[in-house]
Amino acid sequence: MRSRDGNNYRSLAICSVILFNSLVLNASEYLISYRYVVKDAILYNESLQISHAMKSCIGKPISFIELSHNGANNLAGIIDENSVEFINFIQKLGLHIEHKEFTLNAQNSSTTILTLKTRCFKVDFNDNFARISPLK
């Protein structure tokens, strides 16, 4: 569109910036949290929560992991295929550990909870792999 004063470069610049961001920067941001509960040496509960970020996260990627996928088109499917590698990666990021142990009537009982608090991850999907990097 052309404005009244004859300058049409601004609308062209805005359109090109929007097109560039949508095509080149196709990285998505996800919020991921993880919780692992062991009660009396038995796995009681394990949960991995993944949700698409509603607004952009602030921060820079600090490290990354590349997970290969065979036709999975969403992050939950890719992580499910490579769950051991991903869990080992997020354990290096730092987990909150809570341990409770008590003895009652000569019987020991313990509970251990590992938690990765909700954290923002940037995910780049490619043809054969997804690059997942936490933001700091």
Number of domains in the chain: 1
Residue 75 lies in a domain: yes
pLDDT, mean over the chain = 83
Q: Residue 15 has what pLDDT?
A: 47
Q: Does residue 9 lie within any of the structural domains?
A: no
Q: What is the pLDDT of residues 28-78, one digit of tens each?
A: 899 999 999 999 999 999 999 999 999 999 999 999 999 998 877 789 989
Asked if residue 14 belongs to a domain, the reply is no
Q: Is the pLDDT of residue 17 over 60?
A: no
User: Quick check: is 4 in a domain?
Assistant: no
Give one DSSP letter per residue of 54-91, joined into a string.
SSPPPS-B---EEEE-SS--SHHHHHHHTHHHHHHHHH
Question: Does position 13 have pLDDT exceeding 70, yes or no?
Answer: no
* Main-chain dihedrals φ then ψ at residue 87, nearest 5 degrees: -65, -40
Q: Whole domain around residue 42: which residue ranges?
A: 27-134
User: Is 124 contained in some domain?
Assistant: yes
128 belongs to a structural domain: yes
pTM of the model: 0.72
The verdict on residue 104 lying in a domain is yes
Comparing 10-14, 26-30, 60-64, 125-129, the range with the smallest average pLDDT is: 10-14
Domain assignment present for 17: no
